[in-house]
Amino acid sequence: MPLPRSLLVRYLLLAVGVIGLYTLLHKNYIYVPGAEPRVNACFTVLARNHDWRALRDSMRQIEDRFNSRYNYPYVFLNDKPFSAEFINMTRSMTRAQVHYGQIPSEHWSYPEWINQTKAASRRKEMHEKGVMYGDSESYRHMCRFESGLFFQHPLMQQFDYYWRLEPGIKYECDINYDPFVYMKKNKIRYAWTIAIYELMNTIPTLWTSVKKFMHTHPDLIPSTNSLWWVSRDNGTTYNGCHFWSNFEIADLSFYRSKEYQTFFDFLDREGGFFYERWGDAPVHSIAAALFLQKEEVHWFNDIGYYHPGWQHCPSGNAWLDNRCTCDPNDKSKTITNANWGKCSHEWEMLPDTPRA
């Protein structure tokens, strides 16, 4: 017996409503997990056109483990125009909105105060001494851009938080909550998952420049901060600890602050991004130590993450509950079980901020 016409119309209207709701949630990316509204945040990826295959792997990891439920947008940045192949191969990996932008030339070139002949000579010296990426010019532009310029890109201006994503990484555990929401609710401004010692031959004068900054701008440094983690002698020397910034989640107001901008501009004028090989990881980490309280920096100890070389792997119930596939006892990969992982354990030893 055929359905009455009025009932058929009702079913059709219901179907249209369901399709419309799906489109609203998944195509316009307005996703509300439970009762928690999504944060104004994005994944940010610095990439070259030939990175598309490795990035498909990275995106598959983060989509399967987290973002297929949240649909946070992606921002891809490149110093060259993105190819149609790159755009097609990355856009197809997600339902989320995807933005592609070219880095302004002034953010990927030598500032006027840099002596390029001297810079080339120093690259040659560092290469001869066996310094990692010692002779790479592009690596230095990348480090400078990631240290203080990426968040100035026009595509980044619309966002309040960012999560850095790179080619060739793995997320080895499910992420069953929203780290962005966690950070916003708990007033966390910087978050990490791997802490490691820096290669000190890449930054021979960085701490000298940091001390000059502290002497020049004492008014910008709060009386309580996280300095102890990077210097056990009240700022005389740097112990090399830094957050491995290939994974970081940050409140962009930290990088946009007067304190951080003044710090980056000071270091930029010192020339070490080009005359040495200052990396964005120690720059970000030292800034966090100078300007943030311990409670404003968070170790996402339950996020399983691998970057070629090292991994962080949770253990115990977190390993089981989050369907982890990494081996927490693998000393060849798991940073917290290796001598290079002391910085992670020492973060936990950092005294809490005194309360009035």
> Nearest-5° angle of CA 323, CA 30, CA 48?
70
Mean pLDDT score of the chain: 91
Helix, strand or coil for residue 301? coil
Q: What's this model's pTM, rounded to 2 decimal places?
A: 0.89
SS3 of 127-177: HHCCCCCCCCHHHHHHHHHHHHCHHHCHHHCCCCEEEECCCCCEECCCCCC
Residues taking part in catalysis = 248
Q: Is the pLDDT reported for residue 15 higher than 50?
A: no
* Average pLDDT of span 129-135: 96
What pLDDT does residue 219 have? 97
What pLDDT does residue 18 have? 42
What pLDDT does residue 46 have? 98
Q: Is the pLDDT reported for residue 26 higher than 90?
A: no
